[in-house]
Structure 1
Amino acid sequence: MTKKAVLIILLLLPFHSYSQSKIEIEKRIKKENAPLPAQKFVDSLYFSSKIKWFVEQDFNKKTYEAKTKSKGKKYSIEFDTLGNIEDIEVVIKWQQIPLSIQNAICKKMTTDFEKFKIKKIQIQYSGNSTELLKLKKNTENLIIKYEIVLKGKKNAQSLFYEYLFSEKGEIEKEQQFDFRNTDHLEY
């Protein structure tokens, strides 16, 4: 980890205990610096476009991420420090979310915010690695969730938030986050 990243983490530590904010530091790395099982997993997905590798560090954990584009879709494949697959996320459009889940999301957002604007939507797939390797053909045995990144206004203050909804539209996680790290959304 660079001196700059360590300094940023140390400066932010006092604030972490008082907030539920998500602050991540993401850094581009070479493929060789990612765990070997992660490299092999991504290679077995046979993406034709370039794959960019990142290491992501927050207060609780460190992960590795491979990002790529394929057939007009943006993929993000996340691994733990040992190279075990955690999930695969694909950027989608609002219309691709089932109507019942759209309604649940809108209900939650109108309750939480005076105004909001969705910035990014991802469908998140998780499950065992064998089933995740079949993702391009079959999602039947996978756990599906929806991650929503938005800018919301409440109490006259606009901030960025990340929400995670289950396949049934139930809220699983919500947190404010620092959007200054532009690499976080890079593909």
Structure 2
Amino acid sequence: MSRTVLDATSSQYNEAGNWVGVLYAIQALGSVLWAVVLPRFRSRKFSYTLSLLLGAAGFFMTAFMTNQYVLFVAFALIGCAWAAMLAWPFTILTNSLKGGNIGAYLGLFNCTICVPQIVAALAGGWILTMLSTPGSIAPEYLMMAVAAVSLVIGSVCVFFIKEGKGNEAPQENPVIGEDL
């Protein structure tokens, strides 16, 4: 099986590549449509949590569905999470900060996004191979389940954020010696 799937000259490999392109288009469409809906929610935190849970459902579906057309629904749900992840985190964070040094906090926040991506790119395959045993769930399916669980954990963490009342970004105090 692996030899067939990983052979870039096989027709199955090319068909899978074409199918992934279709699924990514569905994800993008789901993201755009959900981005139109997001501002209609009264609470950013609720809409962010809901979006993450929808994405988690989508990732769980990809791990366990066998019908390729059901993946349309799964990738549309993943698109909902993607739209919210692009829209809400920085807004929620800036509204929860008080006083100056917002730039430093946002820089640290950006590290919490970049560092896990770098670790996943460098060690993700190795970690998944170590977690799955031969004859059990394949690493690819395990990866989707881990993504789903991560989104569920993230959705719970959203409720611990204390967001400010106003929608305006707080004023940043200049650093001493800063002359802009």
TM range, smaller chain: under 0.3
Larger RCO (CA within 8 A; separation ≥ 6):
2
More strand by share: 1
More helix by share: 2
TM-score for both structures, normalised by structure 2: 0.27
